[in-house]
Amino acid sequence: MKETTEQLTSIGEIAKELDMSQRTIRYYEEIGLLNSIKRVEAGRRVYTDMDLRRLKLIKRLKIMGMTLSEMQELEAMWTIEKSTDKVLGRLLELMSNQLRRLDDRIADLNILRNEIVEYQKRIKSKIGKPRV
């Protein structure tokens, strides 16, 4: 008979590994983004490799600009539908929306950059010599 032992990790170790505060991890649990947290003696939280993967995904999605409410939407969709295709389809839609927002922001920043360059040129021409 094959015995499997699950690696359990403390919140402090997980927080350090992910460069994330313990409070943030608890908050993700409170709002339902982490819902399989195990507790041992005196209610102390312990985390599995699956929890670690989930936290890494949350962190990656946040970096890509996804809001916590969008992540909650995906979690709720998974809970109700149990369909990877539907969740991934919605994730693609959210990512496409984020790309459009980024493209708009980049265009705005390019306009701002050009305005600054033009303003610098005008200032330099008034003082008569280029500045580095």
Contact 92, 66 (CB under 8 A): no
pLDDT above 70: percentage of residues in the chain: 91
Checking if the pLDDT of 17 tops 90, the result is yes
Closest CA to 33 of 73, 63, 90: 73
Whether the predicted pLDDT of 130 surpasses 50: yes
pLDDT in tens, 49-103: 888 999 999 999 999 999 999 999 998 888 887 778 888 999 999 999 999 999 9
44 shares its domain with 55: yes
- Distance, in Å, from the CA atom of 63 to the CA atom of 114, rounded to the nearest integer, reads 27
Dihedral of the alpha carbons of 59, 60, 62, 65, in degrees to the nearest 10: 170
Do 26 and 11 lie in one domain? The reply is yes
* One domain for residues 71 and 123: yes
> Of 16, 77, 78, whose CA–CA distance to 52 is shortest?
16
The SS3 call for residue 17 is helix
Asked if 83 and 113 sit in the same domain, the reply is yes
120 and 58 part of one domain = no
Average pLDDT, the chain: 87
Same domain, 90 and 101: yes
Summarize the confidence of residues 108-118 as an average pLDDT. Answer: 98
Indicate the pLDDT class of residue 7, thresholds 50, 70 and 90: confident
Same domain, 1 and 52: yes
Which CATH number fits the domain that encloses residue 29? 1.10.1660.10
Say if residue 69 is in the same domain as residue 132. Answer: yes
Question: Structural domain of residue 23, as residue ranges?
Answer: 1-63
Count of structural domains, the chain: 2
pLDDT of residue 128: 65
